[in-house]
Structure 1
Amino acid sequence: MPFRLFRAAYLLCVIIAMSLFGPFKAQAQFTLGGYSNSHYAGIHGVPNNPASAAGTHYKWDVNIAGVNAAAGNTYIRMPRSILLHPPDSLRALKKNRDYFLDTMGSGKQFAWGNVDVMMPSVLYSIDELQSVAFTWRVRAMANGGNVNTDVVNFFAQDFPNPNFTKRRYDMQIANGSFHWWNEFGFTYARVLKDDGSNVLKGGVTLKLLSGVAAGYAQVDNATFMMDSRTSGEINDGTLKIGYSDRVANWEKPNMSNYKVFGNMGLGMDVGVTYEWRETMDGLTGYDDTQWNPEADDYRLRLGLSITDLGGITYKKASNVTDLDLRTSNINPDDLRVRKGESWQQYYRRIQTYFTPVASSDKFRMNTPAALNLMADYNIDGRFFVDASGRIALNAGKYDPSKTYVVSYFQVTPRYDSRYIGGYLPLSVNRNGQFDAGLGLRLGPLVIGSSTMLSNLFQKNKNRLDGFIALRIIPIKRGEGKTGCPAAQF
């Protein structure tokens, strides 16, 4: 029963995070599989590893605009027709027609969503050794889950369903969170060592964060039973909840709530890359017509970075408290969202059924810290194989006020030349979901999806993503320069 409150809070997460930018009504970094680790990524590689800014192919690189969006879950699948023609409201969806539930699933269920918009941003190479970059991103993220399938079934299958009476349910933890924030990043990167065969680069991005809205809900150690359709009991459990005062005073349209300087916070990315070169050339191929044509002369490149360290402190909306959920008699119908009831009205009504627990009037929403690993093998200067992984550093159970990335491992064969690139990301995430995607770089335009190919062959889908960006890069005409084979195209 307390899960109903969790589900309402998570629904709010999805509505806010996914409705901010219309075309993506549907991963936490501004990334496209294979492309973001490419030596041609330029400014688009900086969010993944700030060290990539040093020794690139570009003297300068400007992002005009870009969007990376993703959404997924492990419990609900929808047919392709719903994605192409979404309903006017969630209430219009019909089970076993518009969506299908994984009622027989084992383990826990999760859901996630992310929108990452890169505003005008620029990378500039000061000289052969050092570079600077400025990135401006607007980001929104939602997470939810950690719930056993039997508990999800209890609430998802026609709650309150008489078929689920007289059974005890244990909910060790169930949580949901959302965060919308602005981010200015200032990057410095340089070549730390270059002896011809070995090139070591390092970089750091310092971030000025400003929070727009945030919230969380977490149920801890709840046990409950529905005695009948009109009577139930909760023997144990605590609800931890908080949302920012901006959420309590939400304005329409959604973008009117966006402020460049609101709740201020600090963040940081730090990273290193190592390149091994079979020949003793190093990064020495600079001239007036092409900046660093030998940026991809390495045979093997390794990278490590930690991104999104930091967070933002918010003031809670007034009258928001944690709740002791223990009660000997409650009508399950009272825990349903009533027709026309806003989520805030719902929460205030729910408060009257349980015992308030004192909590702080502030909360800190952590940004989605992650460890990023990368290995890139150069086959012949045009064809490469990239292996990368992302591990969430703050996806533990016991701190509800945070958003976090979905950990994954990915292998991407790719073709890269000066103005054309093709990427075939193959990935598996922490939930065991496998995806195949496709990405293209055509001069200043980059577009792709890490789930495109797998979604083409799936009748019903439970995750999707998309990446599109437009940039301005130096374009040189005339004959190519000597150096790596890729520089000739």
Structure 2
Amino acid sequence: MKFRGILFFLICTLSVAAQDYQAINGSPFAGAMGAANNPASILSTPYPWDLTLFSVQVKNTTNAITFSDLSYLHHGDTIGYNWKGGLLKRYAAFNFNIHLFNARISLGRNQAISFGANIRGYGAAKTGPANYNDSLQNMNQFFNINENTTYEAQFVTSSWLELYGTYSRTIWDDAYGRLNAGITLHAQRGLSGAYAQLANGTVKRNTLDTLTIYTVAAGSATYGYSSNYDAIHSNRSAGSNIHDFVAQSRAGAAFDLGVEYLVKSQSVPVYGDADDYYDYEWKIGASLMDVGANMYQYGTESRAASNPKSNVSDLDLNEKFNFVGSMHDFNDSLATIVNSIRPLRGHFLIWNPARLILNVDRPLPEHFALNTELTLNLGGNNKGRRLFTKEITLFAVTPRWETKNLGGYLPVTVTTNGKVWVGGAAKLGPLLFGVHNWATVFSKTKAQNGGFYLALVIRPGSKGFRSREPKEYTCPKY
């Protein structure tokens, strides 16, 4: 039951779906949510406070599977899926976040703070090049179409609860521009961590009369999961399982750093015009996000295996693994085909999706603007002992029309795997909703690439829209 529960969690997470609400990245109306893109941005918002009561964002991408009869607007009685055939490197990735009561408070024009709680998760899996078709019946057929293949695969996932606090202040301000800087500190609890690695897997072809047999020649595998999954028992209530699952999590930490430079307009203000303190000609931002990690204790069935036995055939693999129903059963079967297998003990780290974000925002007439953003992941390849999660977005361009209460957005995103998504979002008062890829809305075969976001944000009324002008600049009233 534990093994099935773990698989169910992983499969559901991959199939339903970031840290980005792409449409509002760089927007002066992003408020508290902007801290997740650049901690300095909370000082560029022209109202004294805002409160994100709740928000959720999910994103997923894969080239390994295609769903049918499924879109955000429609699904049939039976949702079909097909594993993609042919010779290719396969991948799947997801991320999600839930914001719970995120607040931003201005401490005047030169300082601001933000704080709140989030639940976040990232995961990715990829393989080396391998051939596959849906007519395969056993391992012999699979090895037959993959002769001379070296089998490689990596999988990493990490989900955590975090409490964060952000502080931003103005570093300098002159007639030409303003530089704001910010820092965020995260206190984390690693809720769910797992990884798997297959390296240098090869098989040898043997012929016996007219029969072709494949035997395992080389390879090593390492896989681990967080020990709080061992606290789940089918004979206990859901509440007890959840309590023990969270109680056995481990602490982690991370930080963000960011700067924003606002290039001011050189136009001469006219008496009676609206306060233009928060206006700019260009806004250029750079941020280093999610530098940190979550710690997990190895679960009891975590293993490292290597040095396969020389007489293990494809028939043996079929017999030993066809009816595996738990991690314990899997380990028992694996132990019969390798010369070296050992349990993994102690702790392992999975690094947060550390990345450098460069953002340029350009206001245009009549409430229009154009935002461009480049995201550079800083993590490694997950082939060694250091484990990393990563962001899916590489580059995005977002035209927008936006006022305080209304907005329309058309983000165009290029993913790290080269896919181009055209998304959309709208803001209606306190409600923001959007999709990363319009194809997931209208096509019944694109749900595996895209995602959505939804946020409920409370802001002050029109009288509190812009921060109060300092008294020394206020004209006397007669």
State TM-score, norm by structure 2: 0.84
Provide the rounded CA distance (Å) in 2 between the counterparts of 1:251 and 1:132.
42
Structure 2 unmatched runs, 5+:
470-478
Aligned to 2:22, the other structure's residue is in SS state coil
* Residue 171 of structure 1, CA deviation: 3.3
The match for 1:353 among 321, 337, 355 is 337
Task: Look up the equivalent residue of 1:124 and give its one-letter code.
Answer: I
Structure 1 unmatched runs, 5+:
1-7, 484-489
Aligned partner of 2:474 in structure 1 is: none
Aligned partner of 2:25 in structure 1 is: 36
Aligned partner of 2:228 in structure 1 is: 246
Aligned partner of 1:48 in structure 2 is: 37
Aligned partner of 2:118 in structure 1 is: 137
The match for 1:220 among 171, 175, 199 is 199
8 Å CA contact retained: 1:110, 1:147: no
Provide the rounded CA distance (Å) in 2 between the counterparts of 1:279 and 1:172.
61
Provide the rounded CA distance (Å) in 2 between the counterparts of 1:478 and 1:244.
47
**Residues 233/124 of structure 1: CA separation in 2 closer, same or farther (3 Å cut):** same
* Residue 300 of structure 1, CA deviation: 1.1
Higher strand share: 2
The match for 2:153 among 168, 174, 177 is 174
* Residue 379 of structure 1, CA deviation: 1.4
Provide the rounded CA distance (Å) in 1 between the counterparts of 2:295 and 2:33.
28
* Residue 184 of structure 1, CA deviation: 0.8
Aligned to 1:465, the other structure's residue is in SS state strand
The match for 2:108 among 127, 130, 135 is 127
The match for 1:110 among 88, 91, 103 is 91
Task: Look up the equivalent residue of 1:307 and give its one-letter code.
Answer: M
* Residue 131 of structure 1, CA deviation: 0.6
Is 2:398 aligned against 1:416? no
Is 2:128 aligned against 1:147? yes
List per-residue Cα deviations over 1:352-372 (Å, max 9, x = no partner). 432214755321111111111
8 Å CA contact retained: 2:308, 2:337: no
Aligned partner of 1:208 in structure 2 is: 187
**Residues 182/460 of structure 1: CA separation in 2 closer, same or farther (3 Å cut):** closer
Task: Look up the equivalent residue of 1:309 and give its one-letter code.
Answer: V
**Residues 441/348 of structure 1: CA separation in 2 closer, same or farther (3 Å cut):** farther
Task: Look up the equivalent residue of 1:179 and give its one-letter code.
Answer: S
**Residues 443/215 of structure 1: CA separation in 2 closer, same or farther (3 Å cut):** same
**Residues 418/206 of structure 1: CA separation in 2 closer, same or farther (3 Å cut):** same
Provide the rounded CA distance (Å) in 2 between the counterparts of 1:32 and 1:143.
20
**Residues 43/163 of structure 1: CA separation in 2 closer, same or farther (3 Å cut):** closer
Where do 1:30-429 residues align within 5 Å?
A: 31-81=20-70, 84-85=74-75, 98-104=80-86, 106=88, 108-150=89-131, 153=132, 157-160=136-139, 162=141, 164-165=143-144, 167-171=146-150, 173-225=152-204, 232-250=214-232, 253=238, 255-256=242-243, 259=246, 262-279=249-266, 294-295=277-278, 297-328=279-310, 329-330=312-313, 331-334=316-319, 336-338=321-323, 341-354=325-338, 355-357=340-342, 359-380=344-365, 382-399=367-384, 401-429=387-415
Task: Look up the equivalent residue of 1:387 and give its one-letter code.
Answer: T
* Residue 431 of structure 1, CA deviation: 1.4
Provide the rounded CA distance (Å) in 1 between the counterparts of 2:455 and 2:103.
13
Provide the rounded CA distance (Å) in 2 between the counterparts of 1:351 and 1:239.
12
Aligned to 2:391, the other structure's residue is in SS state coil
Provide the rounded CA distance (Å) in 1 between the counterparts of 2:359 and 2:17.
16
Provide the rounded CA distance (Å) in 2 between the counterparts of 1:458 and 1:279.
51
Provide the rounded CA distance (Å) in 1 between the counterparts of 2:156 and 2:134.
19
8 Å CA contact retained: 2:97, 2:120: yes
Provide the rounded CA distance (Å) in 1 between the counterparts of 2:16 and 2:438.
14
Aligned to 1:170, the other structure's residue is in SS state coil
Provide the rounded CA distance (Å) in 2 between the counterparts of 1:164 and 1:224.
8
Provide the rounded CA distance (Å) in 2 between the counterparts of 1:213 and 1:224.
34
* Residue 195 of structure 1, CA deviation: 0.6
Task: Look up the equivalent residue of 2:190 and give its one-letter code.
Answer: G
List per-residue Cα deviations over 1:188-226 (Å, max 9, x = no partner). 101111113211111110110111121110011221257
Aligned partner of 1:437 in structure 2 is: 423
Provide the rounded CA distance (Å) in 2 between the counterparts of 1:366 and 1:182.
14
* Residue 64 of structure 1, CA deviation: 0.5
Provide the rounded CA distance (Å) in 1 between the counterparts of 2:43 and 2:366.
19
Provide the rounded CA distance (Å) in 1 between the counterparts of 2:109 and 2:27.
19
Aligned to 1:259, the other structure's residue is in SS state helix
Aligned partner of 1:470 in structure 2 is: 456
Provide the rounded CA distance (Å) in 2 between the counterparts of 1:112 and 1:481.
41
Provide the rounded CA distance (Å) in 2 between the counterparts of 1:426 and 1:194.
33
**Residues 480/348 of structure 1: CA separation in 2 closer, same or farther (3 Å cut):** same
Provide the rounded CA distance (Å) in 2 between the counterparts of 1:99 and 1:273.
45
* Residue 373 of structure 1, CA deviation: 1.4
